[in-house]
Chains A and B, each alone.
Chain A
Amino acid sequence: MKKVMVGNHAVSWGVKLARAEVISAYPITPQTQVVEQLSEMCASGELPARFIKVESEHSAMAACLGASAVGARAFTATSSQGLALMHELLHWAAGARHPIVMANINRALGPGWNIWTEQTDSLSQRDTGWIQLYCETNQEVLDTTIMAFRLAEQVNLPVMVVLDAFYLSHTAEPVDIPEAALVDAFLPKRHAKLKLDTAEPRTFNSLVPPSAYMEMRYALQQAMREARTAFDEVEEAWEQGCGRRYGAVEAYYADDADLVLVTSGTVTSTARHVVDQRRAAGERVGLVKVKMFRPFPTETLRDALAGVDRVAVLDRNLSPGRSGIFAEELRAALYDVPPDDRPQVYGYVLGLGGRDIRPDTIEAVIERTRSADVPLHEDLWVGVEV
């Protein structure tokens, strides 16, 4: 069944179809509609989940941790400052290996106070141990939300589904809603092997001495490694059910390209449009969309960019004192490629705080990339008035 819905409601539908058992969240623009609709679904009984009202995002994550600890399928959603407030417990969720799913609506951090889209909030949580999946369309949001639960429960790691403020969260698109039976077959009820059980109580997450801590972190890293291949398996299964898959990395006209744009989130759609036009004009421009940020799909990106001369990374985010974060990650991923095969990485910082990235913005990025043999800086700013 197709239904026109905003991205926030695509999240809600995904959570409903995934039969989340506990939902706890605190409202924040632009996330509010997600939990608003979920609370209505819970109130009406169409989603038989426990909806827990809390006084902060920190408590929302704490409630999800508690729910997950007893084996429940838990979900929350937030944005920007709310995600930042959760930070401590994001480490806890991953360290304690809770397969919690969270939707984060990308929003710039204040000050200056800003509710528009930017990826710095989610990328700031890079080292918390959460799997991060970025979305381009509302359909991708719904599909990714469902897939996220299966992936999370397979590798025992929390998953963050990330979507752009307003461009997705508040923009309506037709979305195909899969049949409940199909989703149930794809995603059975969670079965937690290690969980709090009053019949056989155990101590969880007590003091771990230096003699054991590293092994625990190694296990976490192994789970992240597994998550990379597990994601492909999950997508394979989803494609069999409903015919759609996205890829941890999607290459678009990248095979024979001499210049490739690297994007994530909704800017990908704008870039596709520009690539189509350039291709029509005979120019060998391509596109690589990065959906999975953690675990970082290093090998897949190396393969996708093999033989490309120049890579222009569009970063709607900033690590102050360094550069755009995707560019930084990509440079590191490509460093071990033999120098002769290694593309030149041009890292563009643009669209911060929700500033529009239009086709002509991307045209300008292509021109700048073509006109300089080497990037002048690690961070190339686009459209800044100084």
Chain B
Amino acid sequence: MSELRLEAKDLPVSRTTTLGNKTGSWKYIRPVYHDGVAPCNQGCPVGIDIEGYMNLLREDRVAEALDLLLRENPLPAVTGRVCDHPCEAACNRKELDGAVAIHAVERALGDLALERPAVAMPVTHQEQVAVVGSGPAGLACAYHLNRLGYAATVFEAAAEPGGMLRLGIPEYRLPRLVLDRQLEHLRQQGINFVCNTRIGLDLDWSVLSWFDAVFIGTGAHLPRPLGLAGEDNPAVRQGLDFLADVNGGARPDVGHAVIVIGGGNTAMDCARTARRLGAEVTVVYRRTRAEMPAIREEIADAEREGVRFEYLASPVAFGEDSEGVVDVAFERMVLGEPDASGRRAPVPTGERFQHAVDLVLLATGENASLESLPPEVKVGKGSIEADRLGATGHGTYFAGGDVAGHDRTVAHALGAGKRAAIGIDRRLRAQRGEAVPELLPADLTALSLGPQGNLSMTRWRHDDPVRRVAPLLEVVGPEQLNLTHFEPAERHPDHKPNGASATTFAEVNLGLTRTEALAEARRCCNCGVCNECELCLIYCADVAIRRGTNGDRFEIDLEYCKGCGVCAEECPRGAIGMTREGL
């Protein structure tokens, strides 16, 4: 009953195959598969291959995704909670239906990573490295050096490691259990921690002389005085001191009314912490909400928890303490021309007003502690002078993080620690007589996730780049995507308040479930990197694209590809380009 009655003579069908018509001779340009850099990867100060792990998650290859994430980021359960996620601001998907909730996916992955046993790293090199300061910069440096085969010892002034992660960030944002488990993983990996030891104060830097390299990541936690009358009033406290007390378990009496001065994350942390201790809290900031440097979710959470905001006001004096009450005098500001930060600057108006409160918390920034540094290290304006790989003027000493003047975020500190690890590895290898890259700016670019991106440990170690056959340094912008090929899919709500947050120190954001995180990962466009969606294969009018002989990626049959460019045009993620080369 089949269609055997139909004969070729009944239809206009060629008698021979069309394979003799080698349309490849028509072309003057040809398509080429290349792998660009996704903008999230460039946007990440840590230098995580976000697109890469999203690509693996798309295929439910969770363990491999975790491995890839951990190649670059030692603390995903931490950054997944406290990072200000510039990756999402860079995400191309916001042109379609909202950036991928990378931050929330990272947190889910970070928690999954903590459920796996830590893998002890074999020490393969003789050289020993000391890391001074166990904040994110120091932890990152020690972590990467340890994974590169070095024994790393971290010295910490406080009783427990973590630096600003432990002292500065409240529990409701970063539960101690998560931080402790994350640090336990680093310990089990092989990092040695020496706490209660202030290098430069309790012990002289010379005790580290038998280490082959020393990384200084002592951070910035010195109060920056405002220079105002009455600042020495005991009811006027440094915000960081207050946070360190509460984060250490203290529950001080804050009275009824608290004023927090500042607009950064420390200000939000002070305000929300004081709120949890029962106070009516007002944040006073000299610019407006739009200029506040704090993470947007933190501002929104503070507002939701009942913190009040007084914008365009700056303190001028703290009045006499009468029965524990401080009179704070403020001056009204207006916004003027943009300043060096690009934000509109506050300009005094002369108008004054007063608030009487029980406690004032100052959160207007901190200075790096530069007094107790080794004398060989060159100190510039407010920070150690170090190059991109953390090298100071002195060969043994490297530095990174807040003390070296980097942007004061956890992510930037982690990124600086990683770069210093590369710098130290390169120096020690050179001392061993190995050939090492020159590390001229061009060489650094070759290691970077895009021209503005951080360095990639994968590239430094020549690890498997995962799915990338021809890595390019170009960042793929939205104009290089073909967004019509993506099904609209709403971003998962990544900030889910627990509902009881204003009264307890329980973690506020509930995060995504594993299932939600995997679904969110499927929203990733995999910008610039072929994920074998096969659209090129379908669109090629000459059937000149086929699966590679080993089943991996695609091959272009140049005998038949006529260079029409439809594959490059239709590729949803800009992973195909057209070139004149090789013709």
Contact = CB atoms under 8 A, between A and B. Distances in A.
A complexed with B: yes
Interface of A: 96-97, 99, 150, 153-156, 188, 190-194, 198, 200-208, 212, 215-216, 219-220, 223, 226
Contact of B17 (A96, A192, A201): A201
Interface string B149-165: 00000000000000000
B11 interface: yes
Interface stretch (B1-9, B241-249, B251-259, B500-508): B1-9
Contact of B3 (A99, A198, A206, A220): A99
Contacts of B543: 198, 201
The 9 A-B pairs at the shortest CB distance, nearest first, are namely A191-B2, A203-B14, A219-B10, A156-B6, A202-B14, A201-B18, A198-B543, A208-B12, A193-B3
15 contacts: A97-B6, A97-B10, A97-B11, A154-B1, A156-B5, A194-B11, A198-B543, A201-B19, A201-B543, A202-B13, A202-B16, A204-B13, A206-B12, A206-B14, A207-B12
Contact of A205 (B8, B12, B19): B12
Contacts of A193: 2-4, 6
A68 B4 CA distance: 15
B11 A205 contact: yes
Contact of A153 (B2, B7, B19): B2
Nearest to B8: A194
B18 A202 contact: yes
A97 B19 CA distance: 24
Interface in B2-45: 2-14, 16-19
B12 A216 contact: yes
Interface of B: 1-14, 16-19, 543
Contacts of A194: 3, 6, 8, 11, 13
A34 B543 CA distance: 34
A200 B12 contact: no
Nearest to A222: B10
A154 B5 CA distance: 8
Contact of A150 (B1, B4, B10, B12): B1
B234 to A, nearest CB: 68
A153 B1 contact: yes
Contacts of A208: 12
Contact of B11 (A99, A150, A154, A216): A216
Contacts of A192: 2-3
Given A194-B11, A219-B10, A156 B18 contact: no
Contacts, number: 70
Given A96-B11, A194-B3, 10 more contacts: A153-B1, A156-B6, A191-B2, A193-B2, A194-B8, A200-B17, A203-B13, A204-B11, A206-B14, A220-B10
Contacts of A188: 1
Contact of B9 (A156, A190, A205, A219): A219
A202 B17 contact: yes
A203 B13 CA distance: 6
Given A200-B17, A201-B17, A201-B543, A153 B3 contact: yes
Contacts of B5: 154-156, 226
Nearest to B560: A201
Contacts of B16: 202
Nearest to B543: A198
Contacts of B1: 150, 153-154, 188
A97 B8 CA distance: 11
Nearest to B15: A202
Nearest to A233: B1
Contacts of A205: 11-12
Contacts of A150: 1
B42 to A, nearest CB: 35
B404 to A, nearest CB: 56
Contacts of A204: 11-14
Nearest to A219: B10
A221 to B, nearest CB: 11
Contacts of B12: 203-208, 212, 216
B538 to A, nearest CB: 11
Nearest to A195: B3
Contacts of B19: 200-201
Contacts of B18: 201-203
A223 B3 CA distance: 12
Contacts of B11: 96-97, 194, 204-205, 216
A233 to B, nearest CB: 9
Contact of A156 (B3, B8, B13): B3
Contacts of A226: 5
Contacts of A223: 10
Chain A CB within 10 A, most for which of B2, B7, B18? B2
A153 B19 CA distance: 29
A204 B1 CA distance: 23
Contacts of B14: 202-204, 206
B19 to A, nearest CB: 6
A237 B219 CA distance: 86
Contacts of A190: 2-3
B555 to A, nearest CB: 14
A156 B3 CA distance: 7
A215 B7 CA distance: 12
A207 B12 CA distance: 8
A61 B16 CA distance: 28
Nearest to B6: A156
Contacts of A198: 543
Nearest to A226: B5
A197 to B, nearest CB: 9
Contacts of A96: 11
Candidate in A203, A207, A220 with the most chain B CB atoms within 10 angstroms: A203
A150 B19 CA distance: 34
A364 to B, nearest CB: 47
B260 to A, nearest CB: 53
A219 B8 CA distance: 11
Contact of A215 (B2, B9, B17): B9
B10 A216 contact: yes
Contacts of B7: 219
Residue with the greatest number of chain B CB neighbours at <10 A, chosen from A97, A194, A215 = A194
A206 B18 CA distance: 12
Contacts of A219: 7, 9-10
Contacts of A215: 9
A194 B6 CA distance: 8
A212 B543 CA distance: 29
A219 B9 CA distance: 9
B14 to A, nearest CB: 4
Contacts of A154: 1, 3, 5
A312 B442 CA distance: 91
Nearest to B16: A202
A193 B10 CA distance: 12
Contacts of B10: 97, 156, 216, 219-220, 223
A211 to B, nearest CB: 12
A150 B1 CA distance: 8
Contacts of B2: 153, 190-193
Nearest to B2: A191
